[in-house]
Amino acid sequence: MNDQPQPTPQEASDDAARRAAARISFRLTYDHTSMPRRIGIGSMSGPPIPCAYGGQLQSSGEWDAPDDGQPRDEVGWLDQFLSYVVGETVHEGLEHYQVDGRPWLDPHGPAEAAIHAAVDRLHADLVAIRRRFSSDQAK
């Protein structure tokens, strides 16, 4: 029989959170820069972003998004260009969110297509939210 007091569910959860946090590394940083990313049809480029993997690849510098050939008005292009930002942000975030020194979910691994599909759904949801809550689409 164990006479030790059992931890409450909250104490057990807090202990699990501390153990999990000790295993995580997230080295991606965000900063305002005078050299912003440049967006054009099919790509986003600009100053290098430090690479999570280091080694030979020191930085990732360009995000490619194939042009789907759809004609768009200016608001449509603003929405499309957001997909580049969302895609690059999620991709880099996944590379930098590491558990025990490895990406928690490698955007270059076997789940790559599923990750892209999830990012596409997130982008579509964000565009729908923007349309629902904005009276001026071009702002």
Residue-wise pLDDT tens digits, 75-107: 999 999 999 999 999 999 999 999 999 999 999
Is this model's pTM higher than 0.85 or not?
A: no
Contact 75, 136 (CB under 8 A): no
How far is residue 3's CA from residue 1's CA, in Å, rounded to a whole number? 6
Q: Residue 61 pLDDT more than 70?
A: no
Count structural domains, the chain.
1
Domain assignment of residue 139, yes or no = no
Q: The domain containing residue 31 runs over which residues?
A: 9-133
Domain assignment of residue 91, yes or no = yes
